[in-house]
Amino acid sequence: MPYSAFVYHRRFSLTRATVERSPGAGSYRCGVHPVSRGRLAGPSAAPATAERTDEVARIRNLLIEEIVTGTADTTVDYRQEQDEWVVVLSGSAELEVAGEAVTLRSGDWVLLPAETSHRLVRVEPGTQWLAVHLFPDAR
pLDDT at 96 over 70: yes
Counting Cα atoms < 13 Å in the Cβ hemisphere of 73 gives: 4
pLDDT confidence of 137, banded at 50, 70, 90?
A: confident
> Within a 10 A sphere around the Cβ of 114, how many other Cβ atoms?
14
* pTM of the predicted structure, to 2 decimals: 0.73
Domain boundaries, given as residue ranges, for the chain: 1-38, 43-134
Task: Give Cα 38 distance to the centre of its chain.
Answer: 13
Q: Do 118 and 97 meet the contact criterion of CB atoms below 8 Å apart?
A: yes
The CATH architecture one would assign to domain 43-134 is Sandwich (2.60)
